[in-house]
Structure 1
Amino acid sequence: MHNATHFLPPISEHRLLVWLMTLGILLSALVPRQASALRFVAMGDSRGYTTAAPVNNTVLGAVNQQVTALNPSPEFLIFYGDMSYRAKINGQYTYSSWLNFMRAQPTGLPASLPLYLAIGNHELHEAGGTSVAAEEAVLMRSCQVAYQDFITANLSAQFMPGITNYNDEYKYLAYSFTADNGNSLFVVLDGFYVDPSQSSIPYTASGSLNQAQLTYLQTTLSASTAKTKFVIVHNPAFEPTDQAYHACWAPSMCSFWQIINDQNVTAVFNGHTHLYSRVMIDSNFNASNPTNNFTKSIPQIVAGTCGAPIAGTADEPAMPDGPPNWNEQKKFNYAVVDVDNSGSVGKISVHSYCSSNGSDPWSLCDTYTSHPPSQAAHNPLLLLNANGQ
């Protein structure tokens, strides 16, 4: 009896190369590409319903805990206005108390998470009028200055870091910053600006953007080589529950969106309307806006309440439902945005989460991706919230 020696058949260089390439593709799909990824959270409108409870701490605290539990963690959070019911109550401005809550544990954000702000109309309303309607009828210049002073006093690596202001007059009201090594640009605007020549101006729900800010937006976007460009302003250009939902909410907002279209902005984020909505602004909107020519398809994402009274509830006037393509949810909400600038063209995925009352489980209520589903399915930037969803 002799021992037989068995040999495996030789593997050709071609077959080995194919096998190694396949293994590499499989492994790369499993490894998160954190070096080329950016994640941020967008939300707004945490105000309460009365001067006795100016911030809805219950819902805002629940959202903050959801944000804290995100994996991977976001690089920063953008809050676009209406922090508190009133800017000034009993002679005291409410901005600092809101910021303190946002940092207090266990209901606040991580101390290391940078926070950016856009101003809303409630940052400009004072308590003390003859009625709620009278208080909200005007926007106060003094509040706007106090808001700017508040940011100056708290400016840090975790609060409004690395921004470039339009100019001193618009300090912290109209500004820009970049992320992901300059591959993502963010432009923040003020839709309720009070000119220095006026102590107050009438409040108009739609808001507006003056020519100075429109020029600033155009100049900043056109000068940027960023792969992804985001614009944030408290008031949306299109009102998701208005009867004439294809029409711009204000003439200046039509001019605003023409710049958004022409500069091929990646996405626009708003609050002000107390619900969640995502609609693609495209050529279907031209008929209602005959002086404009929208040729792109760009998402307007309204993540409009992380505490403010939900549209259509007892504390908020009833509104007609938006059409199906507005992806409307009348719930508390926040949006998580994942950006991939690793290719020649930037890509984004937006996962939005909703809750009926803030204490019920938060669940995925809308998903938007700027690239085909086949690519999104293999995107390593998968969202995990506190419930592992």
Structure 2
Amino acid sequence: MKWIESKKKWIGLSCGVILLLACAQWMGIGKTRASANSFRFVVMGDTRGNSDSVNEKTLRSLLKNVKTLDPQPSFLLITGDMVQGGSDLDKELDEWKDIVDDYYPLSMYYPAMGNHEDDPEAFGKAFPHLPNEQVPGYGRTAYSFDYGNARFITLNTDHEDEDGNYVIDQPQSTWLKQQLSAPGKDHTFVMFHVPAYPVGGHYGRSLDGNKPERDAFWHTLDAANVTAAFVGHEHNYNRRLINSDFDANGYHFTHDIYQLTLGAAGSPYSKVVEDKKNVVKGPKVTSHYMTVDVDGKKAVCNVYDKDDNLLDSFTVEKGAVGVAG
């Protein structure tokens, strides 16, 4: 009799577990594909409005599309300029968080600080889940984290030289080299708001305003052969291949690295084009987001517009010669 009772309990427990798993599947729980070497993340940026603090309509449209992805992203990177900024920055960041929280918990968002969020204290207060003081004095505006077989590094480009040009300053540069020298990861993705090589809307007024400093910075990325660099600031999508064609100021680049501009998730479009050297795709003047599927040494990237039309698709494979796409 005891054996029969135990068997009944076991059957009942098994049925309960099966029912729970079925409910979880129906609710969409557990659809995030993530393992040590296989996972997905999403990148978008510049969600601010023209006159409104946030372009809520476009941001919601893109996040709604992201919500239908299968598998779901493990996290989302935001390339900066989330809000219009100014004296109401705290309030505007709260508004942004209220919007995105309808789709994913805030802890899944990893933003870079843009020039429109030019208050590090307010930025850090808005995103308390971000790593703090990895670069002393920079709060939560410069940080890194590891996920699976990848390292993610975010920099703060809202620093200027004596002539008012955006630069990656010395404290961040020293810290960046330390982060890039850490062993054990197949991929390194670096994110910063102001592009190193702008194509138009901010040409000459990005990190290219101080070309020797820009080239020294990119030489650091090149020496580490990072998988990709994500930027915003210019309100379009473009994929630009930075390689030895850009050698200058005594710096020689030995790798093919994409600078990926993801800067139109709500901001007013930028159609100005000044320099298309090695621009492989774009500039595409439409709202968009990117999925990145890491699978071992491969990173498969797809870019979609707000109607989920495919804008670009390419693969970066670590250890391979060149990049595909």
TM-score, scaled relative to structure 1: 0.67
Give distance in 2, aligned partners of 1:164 and 1:365.
36
Shift, 1:263, TM fit = 0.7
| One-letter amino acid matched to 1:322 | K
Q: Name the CA shift for 1:262/1:95 in 2 (closer, same or farther; >3 Å).
A: same
Give distance in 2, aligned partners of 1:324 and 1:259.
20
Shift, 1:117, TM fit = 1.2
Give distance in 1, aligned partners of 2:235 and 2:106.
28
Aligned-pair Cα RMSD in Å: 2.8
Shift, 1:319, TM fit = 3.6
Shift, 1:290, TM fit = 3.3
Q: Name the CA shift for 1:66/1:203 in 2 (closer, same or farther; >3 Å).
A: farther
- Work out which of the residue numbers 302, 305, 311 in structure 2 matches 1:351: 302
Q: What does residue range 54-93 of structure 1 map to in structure 2 within 5 Å?
A: 54-89=53-88, 93=91
Percent identity, aligned pairs only? 30
Give distance in 2, aligned partners of 1:48 and 1:321.
26
> Is contact 2:33-2:71 (8 Å) kept?
no
Shift, 1:211, TM fit = 1.0
Give distance in 1, aligned partners of 2:61 and 2:276.
27
Give distance in 1, aligned partners of 2:163 and 2:278.
34
Determine helix, strand or coil for the equivalent of 1:73: coil
Q: Which runs of 5+ in 1 are unaligned?
A: 1-31, 125-142, 196-200, 313-317, 378-389
> Is contact 1:39-1:337 (8 Å) kept?
yes
2:229 counterpart of 1:268: yes
Look up the match of 2:174: 215
| One-letter amino acid matched to 1:55 | V
2:210 counterpart of 1:250: yes
- Work out which of the residue numbers 104, 117, 124 in structure 2 matches 1:148: 124
Shift, 1:324, TM fit = 6.9
Give distance in 2, aligned partners of 1:116 and 1:300.
19
Q: Name the CA shift for 1:272/1:33 in 2 (closer, same or farther; >3 Å).
A: closer
Q: Deviations over 1:247-275 (max 9, x none)?
A: 94533222111000001111110111100
Look up the match of 2:141: 173
Look up the match of 2:40: 39
> Is contact 2:236-2:287 (8 Å) kept?
yes
2:295 counterpart of 1:340: yes
Determine helix, strand or coil for the equivalent of 1:121: coil
| One-letter amino acid matched to 2:294 | V
Determine helix, strand or coil for the equivalent of 1:306: coil
| One-letter amino acid matched to 2:316 | S
User: Stretches of 4+ moved more than 4 A in 1?
Assistant: 201-204
Look up the match of 1:123: 117
Shift, 1:33, TM fit = 8.4
2:212 counterpart of 1:236: no
TM-score, scaled relative to structure 2: 0.79
Give distance in 1, aligned partners of 2:56 and 2:224.
38
> Is contact 1:46-1:305 (8 Å) kept?
yes
Q: Name the CA shift for 1:66/1:294 in 2 (closer, same or farther; >3 Å).
A: same
Determine helix, strand or coil for the equivalent of 1:370: strand
2:319 counterpart of 1:365: no
Look up the match of 2:238: 277
Shift, 1:367, TM fit = 1.0
| One-letter amino acid matched to 1:223 | A
Look up the match of 1:16: none
> Is contact 2:46-2:267 (8 Å) kept?
yes
Look up the match of 1:331: 286
Question: Who wins on radius of gyration, i.e. which is larger?
Answer: 1
Q: Deviations over 1:24-81 (max 9, x none)?
A: xxxxxxxx9853311100111001111xx21111111111111111110010001121
Q: Deviations over 1:174-214 (max 9, x none)?
A: 1110001xx2001110000389xxxxx9965xx21101111
Shift, 1:224, TM fit = 3.1
Look up the match of 2:157: 191
Q: Name the CA shift for 1:310/1:103 in 2 (closer, same or farther; >3 Å).
A: same
Shift, 1:320, TM fit = 4.0
> Is contact 1:43-1:80 (8 Å) kept?
yes
